[in-house]
Amino acid sequence: MLQYKKLSKTYPDGTEALKEVSFEVEKGDFLVIIGLSGSGKSTLLRCTNRLIDPTSGEILWNGEDIASLTQNQLRPVRRKIGMVFQQFNLVKRLSVLYNVLSGRLGYMDNWKSLTYRFSKEDKDKAMKALERVGLTKQAWKRASELSGGQQQRVGIARALMQEPEIILADEPVASLDPVLAHTILGYLEKLNKEDGITVICSLHYLDLVQRYATRVIGLRDGRVVYRGTGEDIRNMTDEEFKEIYGEEAERVSAGPGQSITGGVE
């Protein structure tokens, strides 16, 4: 279990992005964080693997407080937390295979990682990861040659190379069209269900949240304003919806079955 306890983040310019956020994530959850742009979703995800240092509070995991670990202590913890980004964050000029292999860097000696010397075992592992996201044929292509959806699948394979216990996904489908969004979330769901990897993911489209989440946290202005299960979110009342998205927010339908939170960005 991962426990956030009164986690706060104030940026140097005084912006209070997170205000005493407390909630728990059970092992094996597919937890989705919802909230308007600026509500603190990215900050929360990035505090979890310490891409951002929280100002106060705790993130308890496996008997350690991630929030207070030193850089050296963080290394083994970060290995177990993969991350998938909205803009994929691949090295575009490198091959797909090497992008996937880079997920292994946290396990290697510094000199080997600097020269990108990967073992045969790692290469086999990378090919298996690519197989899981249906991209074996693209292994030797440059990452830049792939479509957005394919690049995000490479991002997932890279995260998988870490043999993660948790995958953080920061708006992983925001740059993709709705059909591809389902493909990508389908892969994350597979890893969640088949490998028991806990997924913590921020999502914008409510229909996707309703389809994939087993647990939901709603943020508004850096505070938790909603906690629910997948079932709760499927039966969300208008009051709950407005608590998260504001009085003016409306459920906008962007096509069959695609209710989104619109008009208040």
Ligand X SMILES: Nc1ncnc2c1ncn2[C@@H]1O[C@H](COP(=O)(O)OP(=O)(O)OP(=O)(O)O)[C@@H](O)[C@H]1O
- Among the listed ranges 7-15, 145-153, 160-168, 241-249, the one in contact with ligand X (CB under 6 A) is 7-15
Closest CB to ligand X among residues 35, 54: 35
Q: Using CA atoms, how far apart are residues 259 and 245, in angstroms rounded to an integer?
A: 14
Per-position DSSP letters for 41-108, written without gaps between them:
HHHHHHHHTTSS--SEEEEEETTEEGGG--HHHHHHHHHTEEEE-TT----TTSBHHHHHHGGGGGGS
**155 makes contact with ligand X (CB under 6 A):** no
**17 makes contact with ligand X (CB under 6 A):** yes
**262 makes contact with ligand X (CB under 6 A):** no
CB of 227 to ligand X, least distance (A): 17
Alpha-carbon distance values, 228 to 31, 164, 189, 197, 214 (Å): 10, 25, 18, 20, 9
- Alpha-carbon torsion, ordered 191, 195, 201, 203, to 10 deg: 40
CB of 8 to ligand X, least distance (A): 12
**13 makes contact with ligand X (CB under 6 A):** yes
Q: CA-based Rg of the chain, rounded to a whole angstrom?
A: 19
- Applying CB under 6 A, which of residues 1, 6, 22, 37 lies at the interface with ligand X? 37
**38 makes contact with ligand X (CB under 6 A):** yes
CB of 211 to ligand X, least distance (A): 20
**50 makes contact with ligand X (CB under 6 A):** no
Q: Using CA atoms, how far apart are residues 92 and 96, in angstroms rounded to an integer?
A: 9
- Among the listed ranges 36-44, 113-121, 145-153, 252-260, the one in contact with ligand X (CB under 6 A) is 36-44
Closest CB to ligand X among residues 101, 249: 249
Name the helix (H) or strand (E) containing 187.
helix 178-195
- Do the Cβ atoms of 150 and 100 come closer than 8 Å? no
CB of 247 to ligand X, least distance (A): 19
- Among the listed ranges 32-40, 63-71, 109-117, 180-188, the one in contact with ligand X (CB under 6 A) is 32-40
User: Which residues make up the interface to ligand X (CB under 6 A)?
Assistant: 11, 13, 15, 17, 35, 37-43
